[in-house]
């Protein structure tokens, strides 16, 4: 296996809130190789977004405490000097944000916001930057990019804005692309277009991708590996086949709707997981999923945190791991 592009080790993020310290990310470790796509799935509040914002130092300094290591091409992002980190943002890591309605500056034209990113990382003439901006807008499938470049965000639809946000992240041909619910707001055809574009970039430039989503259909389509997050922890990870076809953790299985519905056998409706994710200020002592778990097949579930251990016959370079006490007995 080639050297990983990104190597995250024991990432922890605590946020100070009026209700106490929120343990939002609790010991997350994963790697992303060049050209690889890692999908991070989980409910809202599972720490997906915070864990990637922490990598680029985009959390509010006053309230966030980030520990661990995050090596991007061997350099630790978490201890990097601010100016060096600024240079990494863009060409090193490109980030696509969730909400297209608020992630663009309302008072600057689309072109201005695109060229700004280009010009922040090297001497590019205005004309060249503009030409590149038009080209990028075309690549993300924006109709009439030559005119769109002079428009303000409020003149574009939500889907068009999202594509502008994606174009901004791609502007500096990042080594790693982080897409936080990047295509959630888009309709299926545009979504497919964006995914094609990202896959082409991966093939051409070896871009590594972290794709945060809760759309398991997209995950199946693009991911090499899947990381399931719950309560700020990775509860299961492995190849896309292992995790989606042979899920081990009760949470993953609930997420996939794969759990046998014991209570109401005749109810063929959408399977749901009752309850809500734990408050990050007040995490359970044992397995984070215990309060909502329909299995609870082990005495240690309530009191002892299960480690992320290799399960199944996987192993090798991409082991299938899950953090549960109930792996052997309950795996179907």
Residues binding another protein (CB under 8 A)? 53, 56, 58, 82, 86-91, 94-95, 97, 99, 102-109, 113, 116-117, 120-121, 152, 154-155, 165, 168-169, 171-172
Which residue blocks in the chain are alpha helix, DSSP H? 48-55, 82-88, 110-119, 126-139, 145-148, 158-170, 188-205, 216-222, 240-245, 250-255, 327-330
Least distance CB 123 / another protein (angstroms): 14
Least distance CB 275 / another protein (angstroms): 30
CB of 22 or CB of 259, closer to another protein: 22
Q: From residue 165, how far is each of 96, 97, 159 by CA, in Å?
A: 6, 7, 10
C-beta of residue 59 within 8 angstroms of C-beta of residue 13: yes
CB of 142 or CB of 244, closer to another protein: 142
Least distance CB 202 / another protein (angstroms): 20
Least distance CB 175 / another protein (angstroms): 13
CB of 12 or CB of 86, closer to another protein: 86
Rounded distance between C-alpha atoms, residue 179 and residue 164, angstroms: 13
Least distance CB 6 / another protein (angstroms): 16
C-beta of residue 278 within 8 angstroms of C-beta of residue 286: no
Least distance CB 40 / another protein (angstroms): 17
CB of 51 or CB of 103, closer to another protein: 103
Q: How many helices (H) and strands (E) does the chain have?
A: 11, 12
CB of 113 or CB of 324, closer to another protein: 113
CB of 116 or CB of 241, closer to another protein: 116
**What would you report as the CA-atom Rg of the chain, rounded to the nearest whole angstrom?**
21
């Amino acid at each position: 296996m080639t050297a990983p592009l990104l190597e995250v080790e024991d990432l922890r993020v605590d946020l100070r809130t009026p209700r106490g310290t929120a343990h939002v990310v609790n010991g997350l470790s994963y790697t992303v190789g060049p050209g690889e796509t890692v999908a991070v799935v989980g409910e809202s509040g599972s720490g997906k977004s915070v864990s990637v914002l922490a990598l680029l130092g985009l959390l509010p300094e006053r309230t966030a405490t980030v520990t661990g290591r995050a090596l991007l091409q061997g350099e630790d992002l978490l201890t990097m000097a601010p100016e060096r980190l600024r240079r990494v943002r863009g060409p090193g890591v490109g980030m696509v944000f969730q909400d297209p309605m608020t992630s663009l500056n309302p008072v600057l034209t689309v072109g201005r916001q695109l060229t700004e990113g280009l010009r922040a990382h090297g001497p590019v003439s205005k004309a060249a930057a503009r030409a590149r901006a038009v080209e990028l807008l075309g690549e993300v499938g924006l109709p009439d990019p030559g005119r769109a470049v002079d428009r303000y965000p409020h003149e574009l639809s939500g889907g068009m804005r999202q594509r502008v946000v994606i174009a901004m992240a791609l502007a500096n041909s990042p080594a790693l692309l982080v897409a936080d619910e990047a295509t959630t707001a888009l309709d299926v055809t545009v979504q497919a277009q964006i995914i094609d574009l990202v896959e082409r970039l991966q093939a051409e430039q070896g871009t590594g991708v972290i794709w945060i989503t809760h759309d398991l259909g997209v995950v199946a389509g693009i991911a090499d590996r899947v990381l399931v997050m719950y309560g700020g922890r990775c509860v299961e990870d492995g190849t896309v086949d292992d995790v989606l076809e042979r899920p081990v953790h009760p949470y993953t299985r609930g997420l996939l709707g794969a759990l046998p519905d014991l209570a109401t056998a005749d109810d063929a409706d959408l399977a749901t997981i009752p309850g809500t994710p734990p408050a990050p200020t007040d995490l359970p002592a044992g397995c984070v999923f215990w309060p909502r778990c329909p299995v609870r097949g082990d005495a240690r579930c309530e009191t002892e945190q299960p480690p992320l251990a290799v399960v199944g016959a996987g192993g090798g370079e991409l082991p299938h791991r899950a953090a549960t006490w109930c792996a052997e007995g309950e795996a179907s």
